[in-house]
């Protein structure tokens, strides 16, 4: 009998194990710090299958004092000891269902850390912090001629001290100087037009206290921002990106559904080395009391594979990009012989990244042209430290080319589908994407301060790899894109080269279709492309928008070193002038027809 | 046959496996960075038994770029990512024999990290850094009335920049401000007499450059130090104790023999939770080019057991104590019920310490009197983060006393034997010891700037636990102890209480014998004791030394709240006055006889 029961329980292990747990049964209730209890509950379900943790609707508070902690490298953030509310490690078929609850954080504490999990879902909850990682200062007096201005703030929300002319903001045990800053317009809840004009030199800024919640900027002011505008200040590296909202690494089949993120001392979501992730109704936005949401990108994906699917999402009021999908260019420091390469991670915010594992395909490339010359399979990786590792390949060319080399991981490039999303009113770009996978961006609304969609790739500044090979951008609305001012395009596709780098033979990007989009534009800009082979710009409609100062100093379409380009059937409305198409002498095979309202320069 | 061979190799596994490896056979040779090769070799012998790594005599260079790295908590240091030259984890019967070699370090790189090792020996080598973690500035002009002075330094050895009146020293990628500082006397190679007089206020200090290797201190000067003296500056926490020389944790039967340490950005040796360690001919001293050796203690032991044996060692020129042996007082934050205590590590430089493991005996004590009230056995420990853990005991009293509680680990207190050592010419104390084990300190030479031997115990500042129960200090020479000035004694035994703490019922320390010592003294001080029961001060000889200004403002023997004291047969020579013995009204059972040259106050 005993034997039979044992066999039966083994046979039915999976369905029997499925369980829905009401967290209230584990002492997790509103009105107290639940971190310890949540840590314990999460630990108790580790290794179990088919578990759903249900939080009855309410506000749950999380404090850092008793939270589980680990040293963590987090891509595009500042590495360090992180305390964690939900340390989800090695979970299978786990669902966290907030039932519409708010998870309120009271310190430097990471809401969700998801590592080596499979089929895990976070749903129906809102993440916020009692105190933000930035400060919002309303301009109440402005003296443009004297280059001074006075700000007022809420000292409960944004406590500060002034000492020796320096203002320091208290954020969870940390005194942050002004650092990065940007002026927002409370009318549009966006960065103010041409905001760079007003940027404060944080190192030179000097202030004078005027009562308990006002102070005057006396030095470091380029132009005084207008009365009523809001100066947002958000600190300096390496203390300004310590606390993201959700980190996912080394996982598979993840899903985030109906989740709102109001704040984070970093990104809303950072995903590393993960296969298949779906975001549905993920909302990143400020709460009613603030203009600004997250300190950095809404979502960011590095070295993923499978499919990234982003649908029905709203990303607004971030201090950085909406979506960024890319790989990493890593330096080859030295060839050690015997097929071993000593490699160094190129960007300090990628230190600690898992670049490759045995079985991955990688490409070696010239650091000068960033064009690959050979592919191989990784046999072993020995991590030396957060900067360096030794990678052994299955084969290398008999002779390696002269000059410095880099390496990129070909296995870990995902497909990307973005559909029915809104990205707007944020600093920086809507989407950055550099992946060799298939990219479909359709039926979205973009209204970003810099470029709408940036397809870059650089072995230079951020070392974000991934020359694209198949990108379709269609049926999207681009509304007032580029209100930073200058040459900001709905689509910019061009690798970023250093002065020491040069275009190699053949284009870097391939096959980009920008079709059937609606562009509501004050500046008349559409596409800028460099080093793209197979570029289709067809059937787009460009309508004049009077919302920002009209610009006419840049070409609407600007092509450099491209090949196989089709510009066809694009419409223009309301500009009262022809839009310019500029094609460089080294661009080849361009078909241009049926584009009323356009002219070639 | 095969079977036979297998059985034979199993039978003889241990002796057969013993092996002496010449590191030169693994590419480890003088004249290049050998870190990578040493890391690899160390890894390859992990798990093997009876291995000796022999370095043929020479200078071996270690750079940090390719070194293995891990986040490490290091007691009494600044925790963080540490790169390691010898990451010795889980080794059995391993010997590293340097054959008299010098291991020269070129960056922030920990020479030896020894964890979970048994019977491991480090011998016959010298550890040094090409560039020190402090700077030595020679005073070349001094204007006492103007409170300014000019220093000159070697900009190769101590590179610096001056900006906005602040001087910053470049140390391995780090810009260190003045921070902690102390004036040394190049004649004595010791801190100058009454050095506190000259201490610089690092935060207020302002300097003016005078050519490429000189600068003048204009502000932050209390008293200008004399021309020819050397101002040593050594930075601020948390960037000034990042790089100790040797860390040993969770190990057993360790031995360090004939090893010299010339420098460290921290302690020479820090030992945590280790059973039995022998130091024989460990030398901590400056090299010929510097006055100062390590940034902190020569040796430091926290939460050890078994026996600490220190013989034939020389510790000099450190910027902190010679030897410190103690446990930790940890706060009880809250009783959670069910025999579980939420505990918090009290001192920030103990964050991450392994305080206890299942099976350890602990004592709960009043945080007010620091006297224990109950002992129990640890059943489980759940570490929450580097500050806090939950400890479950096998039993607790039905009622816990009112007021805040602390806990100390009774299992992890070692015996200490110190014999034939010299500790001198350093900042701070010779020896600190608070352990419940048996302590024998004999035939040593002490000449320290503060107390010679400090038996303290505090639940207050450093949270160093361990009321002593059996200490013998005999046949030692105390030479010019206390040249900091003030009431600095060859022996001070007294718990350090906060204003909120009070003496409980009964004494804190017990059974201290200070006998047959020779005290060559400019100030005539011998012993100060508070809350000691069983104190024997017998047959000591006190001779006048003219080396520093004679002091007569403090009692030679000063007793407070002591019991069962014997002061007998002590001799005095050359002071030209009687030495005072002061006994407080609450001291009981004092026998005082045959002490010519002493008088009771």
Domain shared by B445 and B559, yes or no: yes
- Answer yes or no: is B241 within a domain: no
Domain shared by A460 and A578, yes or no: yes
Phi, psi angle pair for B145, to nearest 5° = -70, -40
Establish if A204 touches chain B: CB-CB under 8 angstroms. Answer: no
Chain centre to alpha carbon of residue B487:
22
Distance between CA B441 and CA B423 in Å, rounded? 12
Q: Which domain holds residue B594?
A: 441-600
Residue in B256, B261, B312 with CA at minimum distance from that of residue B279: B256
pLDDT at B8 over 80: no
Q: What is the pLDDT of residue A508?
A: 95
- Answer yes or no: is A7 within a domain: no
> Mean pLDDT, to the nearest integer, of B465-479?
97
Q: Are strands B305-311 and B323-328 parallel, antiparallel or unpaired?
A: unpaired
Domain shared by B121 and B151, yes or no: no
Q: Confidence class of residue A334 from pLDDT cuts 50, 70 and 90?
A: very high
Establish if B153 touches chain A: CB-CB under 8 angstroms. Answer: no
Q: What is the pLDDT of residue A461?
A: 82
Q: Is the peptide bond before B238 cis (omega within 30 degrees of 0)?
A: yes
Domain shared by B162 and B78, yes or no: no
> Mean pLDDT, to the nearest integer, of A166-194?
96
Q: What is the pLDDT of residue A350?
A: 94
Selected for mutation to probe chain A from B33, B81, B108, B382 (highest A CB count within 10 Å) is B81
Pick A401 or A240 by higher pLDDT: A240
Q: Confidence class of residue A367 from pLDDT cuts 50, 70 and 90?
A: confident
Domain shared by A400 and A440, yes or no: no
Distance between CA A568 and CA A590 in Å, rounded? 10
Chain centre to alpha carbon of residue A439:
17
CA of A342: which chain B residue's CA is closest?
Answer: B66
**CATH number of the domain bearing residue B281:** 2.160.20
- Give the distance from residue A70's alpha carbon to the nearest chain B alpha carbon, in angstroms: 7
Interface of B with A in 328-357 (CB under 8 A): 342
Contact at CB, A67 and B386, closer than 8 angstroms: no
CA of B36: which chain A residue's CA is closest?
Answer: A384
- Give the distance from residue A91's alpha carbon to the nearest chain B alpha carbon, in angstroms: 20
Q: Are strands B372-383 and B388-393 parallel, antiparallel or unpaired?
A: antiparallel
Domain shared by A446 and A392, yes or no: no
Establish if B599 touches chain A: CB-CB under 8 angstroms. Answer: no
pLDDT at A275 over 90: yes
Contact at CB, B387 and A65, closer than 8 angstroms: yes
Contact at CB, A67 and B39, closer than 8 angstroms: no
Out of B66, B81, B385, the one facing A69 most closely (by C-beta) is B385
- Answer yes or no: is B350 within a domain: yes
- Answer yes or no: is B7 within a domain: no
- Answer yes or no: is B397 within a domain: yes
Instruction: Compute how many other C-beta atoms are within 10 angstroms of the C-beta atom of residue A497.
Output: 19
Q: Confidence class of residue A406 from pLDDT cuts 50, 70 and 90?
A: very high
Domain count, chain B: 4
Q: What is the pLDDT of residue B321?
A: 98
Establish if B292 touches chain A: CB-CB under 8 angstroms. Answer: no
Establish if B386 touches chain A: CB-CB under 8 angstroms. Answer: yes
For every residue of A79-137, DSSP letters joined together read: -EEEEEEEEEES-EEEEEEEEEEEEEE-SS-EEEEEES-EEEEEEEEEEEESS-SSEEE
- A21-38 pLDDT, tens digit each: 999 999 999 999 999 999
Domain shared by A86 and A226, yes or no: no
pLDDT at B15 over 80: no
Instruction: Compute how many other C-beta atoms are within 10 angstroms of the C-beta atom of residue A469.
Output: 17
Q: Confidence class of residue B10 from pLDDT cuts 50, 70 and 90?
A: very low
Phi, psi angle pair for B357, to nearest 5° = -135, 165
Question: Which residues in A lie closer than 8 A to residue B66 (C-beta atoms)?
Answer: 342, 384-385, 388
H-type helices in A331-405, by residue range?
A: none
Of A348, A380, A409, the last residue of a domain is A409
Question: Which residues in B lie closer than 8 A to residue A71 (C-beta atoms)?
Answer: 71, 81
**CATH number of the domain bearing residue A351:** 2.40.30.10
pLDDT at B6 over 70: no
Distances (CA, A) of B202 to B195, B205, B246: 15, 5, 29
pLDDT at A7 over 80: no
Pick A13 or A535 by higher pLDDT: A535
Contact at CB, A71 and B81, closer than 8 angstroms: yes
CA of B82: which chain A residue's CA is closest?
Answer: A385
Coil, strand or helix at A334: strand
Domain shared by A113 and A162, yes or no: no
Distances (CA, A) of A144 to A190, B444, B551: 22, 74, 67
Question: Which residues in A lie closer than 8 A to residue B71 (C-beta atoms)?
Answer: 71, 81
- A199-228 pLDDT, tens digit each: 999 999 999 999 999 999 999 999 999 999
Domain shared by A456 and A575, yes or no: yes
Distance between CA A154 and CA A213 in Å, rounded? 7
- Answer yes or no: is A102 within a domain: yes
Coil, strand or helix at A304: coil
Contact at CB, A384 and B68, closer than 8 angstroms: yes
- B580-590 pLDDT, tens digit each: 999 999 999 99
Establish if B35 touches chain A: CB-CB under 8 angstroms. Answer: no
Q: What is the pLDDT of residue A4?
A: 46
End-to-end CA distance of chain A: 88
pTM of the model: 0.94
Contact in structure between A157 and A197 (CB atoms under 8 Å):
no
Q: Confidence class of residue A9 from pLDDT cuts 50, 70 and 90?
A: very low
Contact in structure between A192 and A105 (CB atoms under 8 Å):
no
Question: Which residues in A lie closer than 8 A to residue B68 (C-beta atoms)?
Answer: 384-385
Q: What is the pLDDT of residue B16?
A: 52
> Mean pLDDT, to the nearest integer, of B61-74?
98
> Mean pLDDT, to the nearest integer, of A521-532?
97
Residue found by looking up tokens 């800009």 in the block: A525
Distance between CA A276 and CA B440 in Å, rounded? 65
Out of B67, B83, B384, the one facing A67 most closely (by C-beta) is B384
Q: What is the pLDDT of residue A544?
A: 97
Of B409, B430, B460, the last residue of a domain is B409
Out of B39, B342, B385, the one facing A83 most closely (by C-beta) is B385
Question: Which residues in A lie closer than 8 A to residue B384 (C-beta atoms)?
Answer: 36, 39, 66-69
> Mean pLDDT, to the nearest integer, of B330-350?
95
Q: Confidence class of residue A369 from pLDDT cuts 50, 70 and 90?
A: confident
> Mean pLDDT, to the nearest integer, of B27-40?
98
Contact at CB, B83 and A36, closer than 8 angstroms: no
Establish if B12 touches chain A: CB-CB under 8 angstroms. Answer: no
Contact at CB, B83 and A386, closer than 8 angstroms: no
- A561-589 pLDDT, tens digit each: 999 999 999 999 999 999 999 999 999 99
Domain shared by A82 and A178, yes or no: no
Selected for mutation to probe chain B from A27, A69, A83 (highest B CB count within 10 Å) is A69
Question: Which residues in B lie closer than 8 A to residue A386 (C-beta atoms)?
Answer: 69, 81
pLDDT at A3 over 60: no
Selected for mutation to probe chain A from B71, B385, B389 (highest A CB count within 10 Å) is B385
Domain shared by A348 and A463, yes or no: no
> Mean pLDDT, to the nearest integer, of B35-64?
97
Q: Write the ipTM.
A: 0.92
Domain shared by B340 and B284, yes or no: no
Return all residues near B2 (Cβ < 8 A) that are at least 6 apart: none
Distance between CA A222 and CA A201 in Å, rounded? 8
Of B409, B427, B457, the last residue of a domain is B409
- Answer yes or no: is A402 within a domain: yes
**CATH number of the domain bearing residue B396:** 2.40.10
Q: What is the pLDDT of residue A553?
A: 86
CA of A37: which chain B residue's CA is closest?
Answer: B384
- B220-267 pLDDT, tens digit each: 999 999 999 999 999 999 999 999 999 999 999 999 999 999 999 999
Q: What is the pLDDT of residue B77?
A: 97
Contact at CB, B385 and A67, closer than 8 angstroms: yes
Selected for mutation to probe chain B from A384, A388, A389 (highest B CB count within 10 Å) is A384
pLDDT mean across residues, chain B: 95
- Give the distance from residue A385's alpha carbon to the nearest chain B alpha carbon, in angstroms: 5
Question: Which residues in A lie closer than 8 A to residue B342 (C-beta atoms)?
Answer: 66
Q: What is the pLDDT of residue A498?
A: 82
Residue in A532, A520, A537, A509 with CA at minimum distance from that of residue A574: A520
- Answer yes or no: is B436 within a domain: no
Distance between CA B428 and CA B410 in Å, rounded? 28
**CATH number of the domain bearing residue A194:** 2.40.30
Establish if A573 touches chain B: CB-CB under 8 angstroms. Answer: no
Q: Confidence class of residue A16 from pLDDT cuts 50, 70 and 90?
A: low
Selected for mutation to probe chain A from B43, B62, B64, B66 (highest A CB count within 10 Å) is B66
């Amino acid at each position: 009998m005993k034997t039979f029961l044992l066999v039966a329980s083994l046979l039915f292990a999976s369905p029997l194990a499925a369980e829905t747990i009401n967290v209230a049964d584990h002492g997790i209730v509103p009105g107290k710090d639940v971190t310890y209890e949540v840590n314990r509950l999460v630990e108790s379900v580790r290794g179990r299958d088919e578990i759903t943790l249900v939080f009855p609707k309410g506000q749950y508070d999380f404090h850092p004092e008793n939270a589980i902690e680990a040293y963590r490298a987090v891509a595009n953030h500042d590495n360090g000891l992180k305390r964690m509310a939900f340390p989800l490690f090695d979970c299978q078929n786990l669902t966290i269902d907030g039932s519409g609850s708010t998870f309120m954080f009271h310190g430097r504490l990471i809401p969700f850390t998801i590592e080596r999990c499979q089929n895990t879902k976070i749903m129906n909850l809102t993440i916020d912090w009692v105190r933000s990682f930035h400060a919002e200062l309303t301009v109440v007096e402005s003296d443009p001629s004297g280059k001074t201005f006075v700000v007022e703030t809420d000292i409960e929300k944004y406590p500060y001290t002034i000492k020796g002319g320096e203002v320091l903001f208290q954020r969870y045990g940390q005194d942050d100087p002004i650092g990065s800053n940007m002026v927002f317009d409370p009318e549009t809840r966006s960065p103010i037009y041409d905001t760079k004009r007003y940027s404060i030199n944080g190192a030179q800024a000097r202030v004078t206290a005027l009562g308990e919640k006002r102070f005057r900027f006396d030095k470091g002011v380029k132009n005084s921002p207008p009365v009523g505008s809001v100066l947002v200040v958000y600190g300096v590296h390496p203390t300004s990106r310590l606390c993201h909202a959700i980190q996912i690494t080394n996982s598979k089949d993840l899903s985030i559904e109906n989740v709102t993120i109001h704040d984070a001392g970093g990104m809303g979501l950072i995903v590393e080395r993960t296969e298949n992730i779906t975001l549905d109704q993920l909302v990143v936005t400020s709460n009613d009391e603030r203009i600004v949401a997250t300190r950095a990108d809404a979502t960011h994906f590095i070295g993923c594979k499978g499919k990234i699917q982003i649908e029905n999402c709203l990303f607004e009021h971030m201090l950085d990009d909406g979506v960024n999908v890319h790989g990493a260019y890593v330096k080859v420091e030295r060839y050690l012989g015997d097929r071993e390469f000593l490699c160094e991670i190129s960007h300090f915010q990628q230190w600690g990244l898992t670049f490759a594992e045995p079985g991955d395909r990688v490409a070696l490339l010239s650091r000068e042209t960033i064009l690959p010359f050979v592919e191989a399979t990784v046999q072993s990786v020995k991590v030396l430290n957060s900067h360096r590792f030794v990678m052994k390949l299955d084969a290398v060319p008999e002779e390696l080319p002269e000059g410095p080399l880099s390496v990129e991981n070909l296995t870990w490039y995902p497909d990307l589908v973005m559909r029915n999303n809104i990205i707007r009113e944020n600093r920086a770009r809507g989407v950055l994407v550099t992946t060799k996978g298939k990219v479909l961006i359709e039926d979205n609304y973009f209204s970003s301060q810099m470029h709408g969609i940036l397809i870059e790739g650089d072995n230079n500044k951020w070392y974000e790899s991934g020359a694209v090979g198949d990108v379709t951008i269609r049926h999207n609305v681009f509304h007032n894109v580029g209100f930073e001012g200058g040459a900001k395009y709905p689509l910019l596709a061009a690798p970023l080269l250093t002065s020491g780098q040069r275009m190699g033979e053949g284009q870097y990007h391939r096959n980009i279709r920008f079709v059937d989009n609606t562009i509501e534009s004050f500046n008349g800009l559409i596409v800028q492309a460099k080093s793209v082979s197979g570029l289709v710009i067809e059937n787009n409609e460009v309508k004049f928008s009077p919302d920002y100062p009209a610009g006419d100093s840049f070409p609407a379409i600007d092509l450099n070193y491209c090949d196989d380009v089709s510009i066809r059937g694009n419409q223009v409305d309301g500009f009262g002038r022809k839009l310019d198409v500029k094609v460089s002498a080294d661009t080849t095979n361009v078909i241009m027809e049926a584009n009323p309202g356009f002219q070639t320069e």
